[in-house]
Amino acid sequence: MNVKAVLPGVAMIALLAAGATRGTSAIAQDAYPSKPIQMIVAYPPGGGTDMLARLVAVELGKLLGQPVVVVNKGGASGAIGTEIAAHAPADGYTLLLATANITVNPAVEPKTRVDPQRDFVPVTLLSESPFVLVASPTAKAGSLAELLARTRAEPGTFNYASTGNGSTQQLVTEWLKKDNAGLDWLHVPYQGGGPALNALVSGQVQVMFSNVLPVLPYIKAGTLRPLGVTTRERLPALAHVPTMIEEGQADFVVSFWSGVVAPAGTPEAIIDKLNTALMTVMRDPALRKRLADEGSIVTPLPTTQFGKYIADDAARWQRIVKIADLRADR
């Protein structure tokens, strides 16, 4: 047998086979999606994350030509739905409307079974919901400087509310306390944002970091006083409220973000297609205005930038938890 004559033929067959495989893969990916997509929300219906998911799902479905169905899997501060999404097939037909909790939970609970950087691939950031520090009338403070001065002058008399041990509200407040010696605010955890807000409005607690939307009506009515927002620049929805940086808190910038991720191993071509479609959705002027009016910032990102954003956010929460010596059960 003439081996030299046979080898080129074998090489050609292998080359054709590889080309056929790539062609089949490209056809399959071009056909995506060929059936409805489910978008898991790891919280009960009716909350801010759920409402954002439903707004985005409708418009995403129009662009992709297939329905995007929101599926609520609430429980354990988002851990249950997040784990379900992480273990779903990596075929582009299961997405997770992720929030900052996927980076917060591993920081406050080391035994968390889902690692956002290992178990998911980023698709895009959708929006950021910064915090505003609000005070009840019982705080008797018109600015952050007055609040800090009163706290130091009257030690042991100030409480702060949060939505639970290990919550973002607790972490952000403890960050403020660590940066300002002498703040001995007592943490009062509540089972959710509603009870915490009620306690603040009624004066049972004096201060709380909250997302803007729930407290906006109380701020407009003068029931609660906003003392600072956790953005680099002032928010359009609260243009009269200074940033925490303006109030002397260097680099005090943090938000509760929302974005879309997919199970690790989802083909890159599918991720790219989803990213392009979602960035188009988030550029819609009406959607952007609606979210801005609610105190959110629309910030769609390419996948690689969103991946870095998640890594940086995870590192931030790990740092805050370490300096404040916090865990979910404290």
Closest CA to 108 of 170, 161, 160: 170
The strand pair at 120-135 and 255-263 is best described as: antiparallel
Domain ranges of the chain: 35-129+255-324, 130-238
Q: Using a pLDDT cut of 70, give the percent of the chain over it.
A: 90
pTM: 0.81
Round the average pLDDT of the chain to a whole number and report it.
Answer: 88
Q: Which tens digit of pLDDT belongs to each residue from 191-232? A: 888 899 999 999 999 999 998 988 999 999 999 999 999 999
- CATH tag, 35-129+255-324: 3.40.190.150
Q: How far is CA 293 from CA 25, 60, 126, 127, in A?
A: 43, 22, 16, 13
Q: What is the pLDDT of residue 164?
A: 84
Q: What is the pLDDT of residue 14?
A: 46
Element (H, E) at 20: helix 3-30
Q: What is the pLDDT of residue 48?
A: 81
Residues of the chain with pLDDT under 70: 1-30, 327-330
CATH of 130-238, one of 3.40.190.10, 3.30.1050.10, 3.40.50.970, 3.40.50.2020: 3.40.190.10
Rounded Cα gap, residues 73 and 79, in angstroms: 9
